[in-house]
Amino acid sequence: MTDTAPRPTLEAVAARAGVSRATVSRVVNGGDGVREPLVERVRQAVEELGYVPNQAARSLVTRRHDAVAVVIAEPEARVFADPFFALQLRGISKELTAHDNQLVLLLTEGRDDHARVARYLAGGHVDGALVFSLHLDDPLPGLIQGAGVPTVFGGRPGWSDGRAADTGPTLYVDSDNRGGARDAVRHLAALGRTRIAHITGPLDQTSAADRLDGYRDVMGDADPGLVAESDFTPAGGERAMRDLLDRRPDLDAVFAANDLTAAGALRVLRERGLRVPEDVAVVGFDDMLPVAEQTDPPLTTVRQDIEEMGRLMARLLLRRLDRPGGTGSGPGPRATAPEQDVPPGEPDGAEAAVVLPTTLVRRASA
Amino acid sequence: MTDTAPRPTLEAVAARAGVSRATVSRVVNGGDGVREPLVERVRQAVEELGYVPNQAARSLVTRRHDAVAVVIAEPEARVFADPFFALQLRGISKELTAHDNQLVLLLTEGRDDHARVARYLAGGHVDGALVFSLHLDDPLPGLIQGAGVPTVFGGRPGWSDGRAADTGPTLYVDSDNRGGARDAVRHLAALGRTRIAHITGPLDQTSAADRLDGYRDVMGDADPGLVAESDFTPAGGERAMRDLLDRRPDLDAVFAANDLTAAGALRVLRERGLRVPEDVAVVGFDDMLPVAEQTDPPLTTVRQDIEEMGRLMARLLLRRLDRPGGTGSGPGPRATAPEQDVPPGEPDGAEAAVVLPTTLVRRASA
């Protein structure tokens, strides 16, 4: 092979051997888990094509590192304290591993470190990024777009109305937060509750804002004193519940924006001698196990499949990377809605979204 | 500046401005947190030297990515289930962030993915690696040494006797596992207990093996039926406690190799109607909060400073990287024992170790 001859690619070996790219990768890199006949076919194809399974050479040819960054826009302490993130990472990890891609989790102490994260993303160390828990005033999305790495977001990014238009489609995976919230509040109303309070999440996150919108869809112009802003943590749920009881001691139901917050609210209700659900009915959001099952009483909640959201984020990104032009220095070509084994989304001009349905799970608290 | 003139380095700018490398990095990359007079001095030095704060150029010159990989040799599900890892990561994250280095956590589904991790490490994406929770038969240490990245281990690696000799010093941070275990068992003996059982950790990890050795140091040739092998998990602790009670219903104390295991053991003792500490005294290891405080009764345990271990691992690695020859394609020059603000270690020919002391923390269980 001379210097000017094109180097055979991993894809060429895969095509010659009649196996997947991942299988070739596994064989040439000495990994296990490939059946012997396949190993033999790959070895033969490698020999015939003169393929060089060298990391640097391979990266030059494929422009792929087989590595995907995950960025959670929260301090690392919160990443490890909230099981939501572990669940989403579980889905991502399974999907990336199934495609022999390395999960590269970039941890930070907080927002001040986001410029450094963007530099790492721009440094050519990963093929793409999965980003979640974005807050509205976070510079991260802009920095990531500047870094030019293909990205899939977890949760609808807050700037979707205008900002995305000139930089290509924004891919994201979300739950039907607004619809799920409506179901929760309608359930409480169907139980005959009329003074239904809402403990929100951080309203600079679209998931929390959408759940508040769903509450308002049903409650219309209810007393604003029935809404307390919180932060998705158990301690925040306790504080909000105390505020609500001080303001509206007559409340007869609470819809909490997530299960951790609901767990905090339940503790305060018990502390105040209020019975759940007799005096105050409570509904959460997430169906985070074991949290939702181990509260006292067990929590009625809106289920979203967090692990599946992670899996879909990874799948969308890998599909985008596999498309010609999917990697490189800028966003890929305008994506269409995801096809095959991905639920129908809500694509519009600037977005390709997958929005997963939610379900109400009834336990004892409402 | 012509093509042949040496590019000014970040270090040169730092020297000219009379500030640290981290400060220059922060200024040229637009980060915050630097006082205005310092910013001005750095800007002036950048201008005078014609420094180009370009990521690629900078990497070429400094051979630094300002990024450190963390590899935990466990499946990601366990990484998020065991608070030990979160604590160690917390220390690492704080230390790396203080030096403006990006923490790159490489997650896997298990051992089959370790070859891929090693490829990522060898791919020039990080300056060094922090590796912990190694198991004896894991190919990871060998793969990492092959990848040629400077590495600091958490916990004494199991191959230290021979393997390290020809590849340079092995740097690691550990707790005095054997001494701590001796303290635990001596405490139980001092309470008058004579039939002291031990629930081990996974014995292919040196931390677990060392704690078993400490138990044997005190118990001598006690009945082997008093030792049950386990796996550092609460469920494993329950199983081991049941086995022990079946074999030796007369046991009057248990030393569990970590707090999670002790929590499982306490549940089984309660289930069997045995009082703690009256019938059976229990001591754990770690002083993992809130676990150790929230067991019933609260747990007497051997405290090790897990967060500090993480911090020291990061500090040792950064110091090694700052030494001339500390980065590059092979292990750096033979390291001496760590100096300054690091506790005295136990360096020998092939190792530079920092071994942290442990303390017995008395609560109600023994």
pLDDT tens digits, chain B, 366 residues: what are they? 334 456 677 788 888 888 888 888 777 665 556 787 888 888 788 777 766 655 444 454 456 889 999 999 999 999 999 999 999 999 999 999 999 999 999 999 999 999 999 999 988 899 999 999 999 888 888 888 888 899 999 999 886 444 444 456 789 999 999 999 999 999 999 999 999 999 999 999 999 999 999 999 999 988 999 999 999 999 999 999 999 999 999 999 999 999 999 999 999 999 999 999 999 999 999 999 989 999 999 999 999 999 999 999 999 999 999 876 554 433 333 333 343 444 444 344 456 889 999 999 999 999
Question: Residue B203: which CATH number?
Answer: 3.40.50.2300
Start-to-end CA distance of chain A, whole Å, equals 72
Q: Are residues B297 and B312 in the same domain?
A: no
B4 lies in some domain = no
Position B224 scores a pLDDT of 95
Position B4 scores a pLDDT of 42
The residue of chain B nearest to residue A66, with distances taken between CA atoms, is: B120
Domain count, chain A: 3
Do the Cβ atoms of A112 and A101 come closer than 8 Å?
Answer: no
Do the Cβ atoms of A193 and A281 come closer than 8 Å?
Answer: yes
Where b means 16+ CB within 10 Å and e means fewer, A92-118 reads bbbbbbebbbbbbbbbbbebebbbbbb
Q: Are residues B211 and B137 in the same domain?
A: no
Q: Are residues B332 and B271 in the same domain?
A: no
Q: Are residues B108 and B197 in the same domain?
A: no
The residue of chain A nearest to residue B76, with distances taken between CA atoms, is: A90
B256 lies in some domain = yes
Do the Cβ atoms of A314 and A320 come closer than 8 Å?
Answer: no
B329 lies in some domain = yes
A3 lies in some domain = no
B210 part of contact set with chain A, CB < 8 Å: no
Do the Cβ atoms of B29 and B44 come closer than 8 Å?
Answer: no
Position B323 scores a pLDDT of 75
Question: Picking from A21-25, A203-207, B243-247, B307-311, which range would have the lowest pLDDT averaged per residue?
Answer: A21-25
Question: Is the peptide bond prior to A53 cis by the omega test (within 30 degrees of 0)?
Answer: no
Pairing mode, strands A102-107 and B281-286: unpaired
Position B359 scores a pLDDT of 98
Out of B100, B105, B120, the one facing A116 most closely (by C-beta) is B100
Question: Residue B16: which CATH number?
Answer: 1.10.260.40
Determine the average pLDDT of the residues in A35-53: 76
Q: Are residues A298 and A316 in the same domain?
A: no
Q: Are residues B298 and B318 in the same domain?
A: no
Chain B residues with CB-CB distance to A117 below 8 A: 102
A1 lies in some domain = no
**Phi–psi pair at B333, nearest 5 degrees:** -65, 155
What are the structure tokens assigned to A225, written together?
A: 């004193």
Among B265, B285, B304, where does a domain finish?
B304
Q: Is B229 exposed, middle or buried (0-12, 13-18, 19+ CB in 10 A)?
A: middle
Position A26 scores a pLDDT of 73
Do the Cβ atoms of B186 and B218 come closer than 8 Å?
Answer: yes
Q: Are residues B190 and B286 in the same domain?
A: yes
Of residues A170 and A325, the one with the higher pLDDT is A170
Residue A211 has pLDDT above 90, yes or no: yes
Q: Are residues B165 and B82 in the same domain?
A: yes
Q: Are residues B121 and B220 in the same domain?
A: no
CB-CB under 8 Å, B33 with A116: no
Question: Picking from A38-42, A53-57, B80-84, B212-216, which range would have the lowest pLDDT averaged per residue?
Answer: A53-57
Q: Are residues A297 and A313 in the same domain?
A: no
Out of A30, A83, A112, the one facing B115 most closely (by C-beta) is A30
Among B304, B320, B346, where does a domain finish?
B304
Q: Are residues A283 and A333 in the same domain?
A: no
The residue of chain A nearest to residue B59, with distances taken between CA atoms, is: A123
A241 part of contact set with chain B, CB < 8 Å: no
Out of A86, A113, A122, the one facing B80 most closely (by C-beta) is A86
Chain B residues with CB-CB distance to A58 below 8 A: none
Nearest to B335 by CA among B175, B174, B167: B167
Q: Are residues A225 and A150 in the same domain?
A: no
Report how far residue B186's alpha carbon sits from residue B259's, in angstroms, rounded to the nearest whole number: 18
Position B32 scores a pLDDT of 58
Question: Picking from A117-121, A344-348, B172-176, which range would have the lowest pLDDT averaged per residue?
Answer: A344-348
A31 lies in some domain = yes
Question: Picking from A43-52, A115-124, A278-287, A289-298, which range would have the lowest pLDDT averaged per residue?
Answer: A43-52
The residue of chain B nearest to residue A22, with distances taken between CA atoms, is: B116
Give strand pairing partners of A227.
Answer: A198
CA dihedral A311, A312, A317, A321 (to 10 degrees): 90
Nearest to B185 by CA among B236, B209, B220: B220
Nearest to B257 by CA among B282, B285, B237, B280: B285
Position A257 scores a pLDDT of 98
Measured at the CA of A297, the angle between CA A291 and CA A301, to 5 degrees, comes to 55
Residue A47 has pLDDT above 80, yes or no: no
pLDDT in tens, B86-110: 999 999 999 999 999 999 999 999 9
What are the structure tokens assigned to B155, written together?
A: 């916990």
Position B2 scores a pLDDT of 38
B225 part of contact set with chain A, CB < 8 Å: no
Position B168 scores a pLDDT of 60
A5 lies in some domain = no
Q: Please report the ipTM that was assigned to this predicted complex.
A: 0.77
Range of the domain at B204: 177-304
B54 part of contact set with chain A, CB < 8 Å: no
Query: In chain B, positions 62-101, which contact chain A (CB-CB < 8 Å)?
Result: 65-67, 76-77, 80-81, 83, 86, 89-90, 93-94, 97, 100
- Taking the CA of residue B92 and the nearest CA in chain A, the distance in Å comes to 10
Tell me the count of A-B CB pairs closer than 8 A.
112
Among A268, A289, A304, where does a domain finish?
A304
pLDDT in tens, B303-318: 999 999 999 999 999 9
- Taking the CA of residue B115 and the nearest CA in chain A, the distance in Å comes to 7
B270 lies in some domain = yes
CB-CB under 8 Å, B107 with A55: no
Position A63 scores a pLDDT of 66
